[in-house]
Structure 1
Amino acid sequence: MKKVKVCLIGSGRAGMIHARNMAGSVPGGEIYAACDPDVKAAKAAAEELGIDTYYQDYKEAIGDESIDAVIIACPTKYHREIAVAAANAGKHIFCEKPMAMNEEECDEMIKAAKSNNVKLQIGFMRRFDDSFREAKKMIEEGEIGDVVLVKSHTRGPSKPREWMYDIEKSNGPLAEVCSHDIDTVRWFAGSELKSVYALGGNFRNKEIAEQYPDFYDNVIVNAEFENGVHASIEGAQYVQYGYDARVEILGTKGVICIGDMHEKKITSANESHQLKRPSMHSWTHLFKDAYLLEDRSFIEAILNDSEVECSGYDGKMAVKIVKAGNESIVQKKIVML
């Protein structure tokens, strides 16, 4: 069986999840090289993955004729540059979310992939989660009637990294935290957003408020789709109590709820009459299987020359909605898309 040789570009947490999957759990896929501007990190990643090839410069990596595909898992501001170069070198592309900094960059990536006849898949792994797939099937079969409202929230426990405070560089928590929520509500509603109204505030990182006055660590978005379905998106950073990602889909005849706050199905009690149950500590644990399934889907699309399940268009729509949400926060008004 032909193996698709993959190079990881960016050896952070998300990137290494994909690389470890490619190291033995994805039929037809093979992790061949690692690339990181920090050469020590690139070397460490290669050693952990049991491979010999690593690069510091992505241009050298995509110049390696042995490489068939790249996984782009570096900061968002570099995605367009690397993806276009990879496409022009004939490499298939898996790009982590957010796809890019703006719609124009997304268009460049889509055009480069199309003109070079390579696959471009965006890392919306929730579409590959068993519960999300089952919910989609239930909607399509009419189990809850017509969809009325899709609510999705993501709350992360970690303190934002320094570069995330600059909205010009990160596009804010709407991009870094809520891109998955945005894709989720689009997917379940089966339509495109028509209008958004967003509120943001800095509640947990006030020590940086003077230096980064536009930063928000809590955001709420209310929106309406072209088909009339309503949406509510909420995101938060540095909540500290755990990783919390849940979805509710309200229909005319029922409701679907996805996810809970608990990592383990165990509850304890002691002499103080306190019930205790561990909360979910990380997205890496919650969506472990979904990451594997999306990596398998990417390789299958290459080997079978089939359409990817999460396209560049899906990535672009999420970026477009992030921009509209950030505009709404600043302008304090409804933004029409």
Structure 2
Amino acid sequence: MEKIGVCVIGAGRAGMIHARNFARGVPNAKLVAVVDPYEEAAQKAVKELEIETYYLKYEDALQDKNVDAVVVVSPTVYHRDIVVAAAQAGKHILCEKPMAMTVEECDEMNKAVEENKVKLQIGFMRRFDKSFMYAKERIDAGDIGDVVLVKSLTHGPSIPQRWQYDIAKSNGPLAEVNSHDIDTVRWYTGSEFKEVYAIAGNYRCPEARAEFPDFYDNVAMVISFDNGMQGFIDGAVSVRYGYDSRVEIIGTKGVLFVGRLRENEVVVCSQDSGIVTPFMETWRTLFIDAYRKEDEEFIESIVEDKTPRVTGIDGKMAVKVVNAGNQSIREKRPVQL
């Protein structure tokens, strides 16, 4: 069969992970183009990826007959427009998280996808990670009895980009960092969020305080679910010490721990430094295999005409929780969904 032509829209860190996967040989797919509004970034990308075609505007890429599918890795504020236009152009779509800024935008995206009969997969790559998948299998098998509480945390080491300081453009760390945690606890509980209460503050990013007083770099959210289960999400950016992604699932008969902080299992003992083990520096290392599996299954959903593992409904529900969490932070009260 003829390979699916893929265009990656956004040549930043996450975009290049997807682009490298498709350039290096995802079955039944080939990378045919990249899009980035900054020509220097676009030129650098095509040189590394050893392809010829780049565009500065996504609209031009959508007119390219060699493009059958797109991977959307732009800032969240542009997701709705790109996904709707891609669907109308008949292109299948893998959209990175967060899906959009509002539930209404998600509804527009899902409607466009349905009307134009194209696939839409949302980039919650933890659902494709072996450890996270195995934990879900053990939960469903009843290894820890009934789930009582799911606690999920993500701490990122890097300083946010300037646009991320503006909550109106990024929806804050709850969206940019904790969308994965929101999807994970929803996945592991098998239930929708009923009520959230979130508190937040800016402790590590003083450069943002004057111009962006609403920005927070640390957030804690307590959750109740429709099925009676409980949840807790802990999010932080600019922590410096490393990339930290872990989950604890407490049941009526036991507990499951998922994730790790160590880069590997090497432990160095010396008189000068004591006991030292390397920490995980970036999500790009921790989830590299999950990203590839995610890209492979996106193409499988097109070739085999099946529903993607992570759908626009999953993306919408995460956005709904992000908006409720930010409302809770602003109004200093619990918010029902």
Instruction: Settle same-fold status: TM greater than 0.5.
Output: yes
Partner of residue 218, structure 1: 218
Distance in 2 between residues matched to 1:24 and 1:238, nearest whole Å: 32
Give how far 1:273 is off.
Answer: 6.3
Which residue of structure 2 lines up, in the alignment, with residue 318 of structure 1?
A: 318
State the one-letter code of the partner of 2:335: V
Within 5 Å, which residues of 2 pair with 1:1-337?
1-272=1-272, 274-337=274-337
Paired amino acid for 2:165: Y
Deviation at 1:42, TM superposition (A): 1.3
Amino acid at match of 2:129: D
What is the CA–CA distance in structure 2 between the aligned matches of 1:102 and 1:273, rounded to whole Å?
A: 49
3-state SS, counterpart of residue 198 of structure 2: strand
The residue identity in structure 2 corresponding to 1:47 is K
Question: Does the aligned pair in 2 maintain the 1:25–1:292 contact within 8 Å?
Answer: no
Distance in 2 (alpha carbons) for counterparts of 1:262 and 1:301 = 34
Q: Distance in 2 between matches of 1:273 and 1:12?
A: 36
AA aligned to 1:288 is: I
Q: Deviations over 1:113-172 (max 9, x none)?
A: 110000000000000000111011111111110000000000000011111111111100
Shift, 1:25, TM fit: 3.2
Q: Do the aligned residues in 2 keep the contact of 1:203 with 1:217 (CA within 8 Å)?
A: yes
In structure 2, what is the Cα distance between the partners aligned to 1:49 and 1:268? 37
Mark the CA change 1:43 to 1:272 in structure 2 (over 3 Å): closer, same or farther.
closer
Deviates more, 1:46-55 or 1:117-126: 46-55
Report the identity percentage. Answer: 58
8 Å CA contact retained: 1:200, 1:218:
yes
C-alpha distance in 2, partners of 1:216/1:228? 29
AA matched with 2:305: D
Deviation digits for residues 291-331 of structure 1 (CA, Å, limit 9, x no counterpart): 00000000000000000000000000000000000000111
TM-score (norm 2): 0.99
- Runs in 1 of length 4+ with deviation above 3 angstroms? none
Contact 1:98 1:175 in 2 (8 A): yes
Task: Give the C-alpha shift of residue 27 in structure 1.
Answer: 0.4
Between the aligned partners of 1:76 and 1:310, the Cα distance in structure 2 is 18
User: Is the contact between residue 6 and residue 70 of structure 1 (CA under 8 Å) also seen in structure 2?
Assistant: yes
Structure 1 residue 103 displacement after superposition: 0.5
Residue 207 (structure 1) shift: 3.1
Give the TM-score normalised by the residue count of structure 1.
Answer: 0.99
Q: Report if the CA contact (8 A) 1:151-1:233 is conserved.
A: yes
SS of 1:65 mapped into structure 2: coil
The one-letter amino acid of 1:324's match is A
Code of the residue aligned with 2:176 in structure 1: it is E
Greater Cα shift, 154-163 or 273-282: 273-282
Cα offset, 1:177, TM superposition = 0.5
In structure 2, C-alpha distance between the alignment counterparts of 1:284 and 1:273, rounded to whole Å:
28
| Secondary structure class of the residue paired with 1:259 | strand
- 1:99-122 C-alpha deviation (Å, 9 max, x unpaired): 001011111110001100000000
SS in 1 for 2:260: coil
Alpha-carbon separation, structure 2, partners of 1:17 and 1:280: 17
Name the amino acid aligned to 2:64.
D
In the alignment, structure 1 segments of 5+ residues that lack a partner are none
In the TM superposition, what whole-angstrom CA distance separates every residue of 1:217-272 from its partner, at most 9, and x where no partner exists? 00000001100110000100000000000000110001110112100110111114
**CA distance in structure 2 between the aligned counterparts of 1:260 and 1:215, rounded to whole angstroms:** 28
CA RMSD of aligned residues (A): 0.8
Unaligned runs of 5+ in 2: none
Q: Please give the alpha-carbon distance, in whole angstroms, between the structure 1 residues aligned to 2:168 and 2:322.
A: 12
